[in-house]
Amino acid sequence: MSFLNISYRPSSLSQVIGQEAIVKALARSLLEDISPSAFLFYGIRGVGKTTLARILAYSFACLSPVNGEACSSCPSCQAFKNGSHLDITELDAASRTGVDDIREIINACQYTPVIGRSKVFIIDEIHMLSKSAFNALLKTLEEPPTHVKFIFATTEVNKVPDTILSRCLIFQLRPISLETLSNHLITVAEKDNIKLTKDASDLIADEAGGSVRDALSLLKQASLLSEKVTTEVVASIIGGVQPRDIKNLLTLISEGRVADASICVKSMLASGADALSIYKQLQKALYAEIVEKKNNKSELTRLLYLWQVLLKQYENISNTAYPDCIIGATVIMLAHVASFPDIGSILNSSGNGNGKIEEILSLFPKSIVSEVE
């Protein structure tokens, strides 16, 4: 196995996945050489902010760019690839938040590049800078030397002062779609000789929630556990919940089969599944079912009802010493509610559903959950 290559990062815009519109805009600005002095990328972790920042830095520093992008062979590009580029500085604002750290950068701006075409400063998690650091930076951003580029990245753009934002070309990076992420995992696995099934790849992509970094990290963990990465292997990492068990459980619940649903969840727990993971996976599966049945009014009413019942258990399951009991009781409650002959008519009997959830829940002992506890 050669899973160590899994940290592979794109080095050109065309290799970046899931951010087509941004890539197109950046490629054009590089090609036409109309890039501003400061860029800001924001979005959740692992969607490509640092990757794009480095690709831009690589291109801005390159001595003989090809179509605006780094040539990969000039002295500047060589230095970048060796990780020893004197004109490209990366600063993690999460650990260096003070005004002195920014002053170092501002002083360095005065000097022309040593080996590259531009001097580039990448500041990650820029929202963490102190107020005085932002003020110091702003002065340079207002009148940047022509040979200097700033590239900022953040997960919390709302914490970056407007004065800074107004000086930047801003790009919002979206979470990577499940399909794109899953396909990417399959490509990476092939390159690294990891056997990965399509179902397992989908499961990893789903669990990663749009983050390439999280997805690759899960793939790496799974490939360390087994020669072949299957849904079973992935499930063992993400709380021991098998997708087929969740599907089965949801079917039993929807059909109102209280006893069978209860046996199903007990057997999942017995085989090592984590209660909170069952809860979360059940929530995801129910949501998917709701989306699928959105045009079927009678089924939708029933599913939305189950949704409300399920949501109300989140606090209980997260704050208990007995999560297995809570998930067991929750499943019984859901299946029982689903077994009611006509939830739709109960809901509609007073014109709207307001307050009806409480009415249905009141059919149970005061708190079924605390009694179980």
Chain residues binding Zn ion by CB under 5 A are 62, 70-71, 74, 77
DSSP characters for 267-291? Answer: HHHHTT--HHHHHHHHHHHHHHHHH
In the bound complex, what is the minimum distance in angstroms from residue 63's beta carbon to Zn ion?
5
81 vs 220 by CB, closer to Zn ion: 81
Strand runs (DSSP E) across the chain, as ranges? 38-42, 88-92, 119-124, 148-154, 169-172, 195-196, 228-229
In the bound complex, what is the minimum distance in angstroms from residue 152's beta carbon to Zn ion?
24
112 vs 370 by CB, closer to Zn ion: 112
151: tokens are 């590239």
Residue 358 three-state SS: helix
CA distance 95 to 86: 21
In the bound complex, what is the minimum distance in angstroms from residue 315's beta carbon to Zn ion?
56
Residue 193 φ then ψ, to 5°:
55, 40
74 vs 151 by CB, closer to Zn ion: 74
- Residues forming a β-bridge with 151: 39, 122
112 vs 271 by CB, closer to Zn ion: 112
In the bound complex, what is the minimum distance in angstroms from residue 66's beta carbon to Zn ion?
8
* Cα dihedral 79→82→84→88 (10° resolution): 70
CA 131, 136, 137, 142 dihedral sign is positive
CA distance 30 to 284: 41
In the bound complex, what is the minimum distance in angstroms from residue 146's beta carbon to Zn ion?
19
69 vs 206 by CB, closer to Zn ion: 69
In the bound complex, what is the minimum distance in angstroms from residue 74's beta carbon to Zn ion?
3
Nearest CA among 51, 50, 74 for reference residue 61:
74
- The residue with tokens 């009413």 is 301
In the bound complex, what is the minimum distance in angstroms from residue 121's beta carbon to Zn ion?
19
77 vs 338 by CB, closer to Zn ion: 77
114 vs 225 by CB, closer to Zn ion: 114
Nearest CA among 22, 33, 35 for reference residue 144:
35
